[in-house]
Structure 1
Amino acid sequence: MSITLSDKIYTIEDYMKLDDGNRYELIGGKLIMAPRPSYKHQRTAGKIYTRFENFLEKNPIGEAVQEVDVHLGIEVIAPDVLFIAKDRLDIVGELYIQAAPDLVVEIISPSTASIDRKKKSKLYFIHGVKEYWMVDPDQRLVEVLIAGEKEWRWAGVFDQEDVLTTDLLPGLEISLSEVF
């Protein structure tokens, strides 16, 4: 379960000083602590990340990374997997990503579903993420949202019978039967 630590309004400076070994995100000035991901969560994220990495080794059109801080204005989040196109790699800083990645993958768990589906979705859209995948390992579903002019466009929900593709990584095919 995610825990909001207090009513105090935190800043990025406060966030950057944290060094207690816990996992936090900073959303709306609230410091949110999340437990370590479950085995299923990590396994699912790892399988998706591995498919990105294998593809990018043969097609060097950008970089994928897992669980790194992303600073979006005054917010700090840590997507499970993200992709940044080659021509935007200047947003990669020494300690964190300094702007919105091109594609974000969040593994949905019961303790984070509300935040992932509502708060993070809104943040990702406002700050310019082009595509957002919400992966539910319990339901074995992936919901894909693509940035439209004024809001997310729903691209569909995909299950283990489907193969995921994205225009952001032309030629990438992720068989969801291999992920789930």
Structure 2
Amino acid sequence: MSAPIAARFTRDEYLRLPESPPGVRYELLDGELVTMNDPLPVHQLAVQQLLLALASWCRSPRGHGLVLLPIDTEVGETSILGPDLQWYDGARELPSRAERPWPVGDLVVEVASPSTARYDAEVKLSRYLAAGAREVWLVRTDPPGARLVRGGGASSEDVGSDGTLRSPLLPGFELPLADVLR
């Protein structure tokens, strides 16, 4: 669950904040600091399975690029979010690995828990696409499923619990959703 904190922050003030305490993560949305509790194990296990599959694909002969766990990601002048996973195309020029915030990934993945699904779908999705994400995956743990949204209004696809995650950005990548949510 997320909750805004009353004070307003600029981008630079947010970036100067100390590390969050254990069990709490921050995001900046339209100048408001939003706190989120650490996710439940079901969420983290789904993120872990997605990370392992994407990282393996990146190292394979057909893949390339970089996949990262949550990092500060600029999605507007007053908004910095931390997607669960992001994949960056290997041909893309990226900032130093010691900098923050980073630009939005080519593929952004949010694993939604029942308490965050609305925030992910109604707020974050449009921010990622407007910031240049070429595709966003909204993976649900309950009920199981996923929505794959391609940038530029190209298309949207719903994947059921027995379906497979695929993307034109990731040639040859296939991951049964059941493997993510087992």
TM surpasses 0.5: yes
Q: Distance in 1 between matches of 2:99 and 2:25?
A: 15
Q: Is 2:74 the partner of 1:64?
A: no
Give 1:178 deviation, angstroms. Answer: 1.1
What is the CA distance between 1:118 and its match in structure 2? 1.4
CA contact (8 A) 2:72 2:101 kept: yes
| Separation in structure 1 between the aligned mates of residue 146 and residue 96 of structure 2, nearest angstrom | 27
Q: Stretches of 4+ moved more than 3 A in 1? A: none
Give the TM-score taking structure 1 as reference length.
0.91
The separation in 1 between residues aligned to 2:163 and 2:76, in whole angstroms, is 36
Count residues in correspondence.
Answer: 176
Deviation for aligned residue 1:163: 1.5
TM-score (norm 2): 0.90
Residues 5 and 33 in structure 2, CA contact (< 8 A), matched pair in contact too: yes
Whether the 8 Å contact between 2:138 and 2:148 is mirrored in structure 1 is yes
Distance 2:102 2:71 in 1: 11
Residue 35 of structure 1, aligned match among 28, 34, 37 = 37
Tell me how far 1:174 sits from its aligned partner.
Answer: 0.6
> For the Cα contact (< 8 Å) 1:147–1:153, is it kept in 2?
yes
Correspondence for 2:173: 172
Coordinate RMSD, CA, aligned: 1.6
Partner of 2:2: 2
Unpaired runs of 5+ residues, structure 1, are: none
Unpaired runs of 5+ residues, structure 2, are: none
Cα distance in 1 for residues equivalent to 2:59 and 2:2: 35
Does the CA-based 8 Å contact 1:10-1:29 persist in structure 2? yes
Matched residue SS, 1:87: coil
Is 1:18–2:44 an aligned residue pair?
no
Partners in 2 of 1:84 and 1:103 — Cα distance?
A: 7
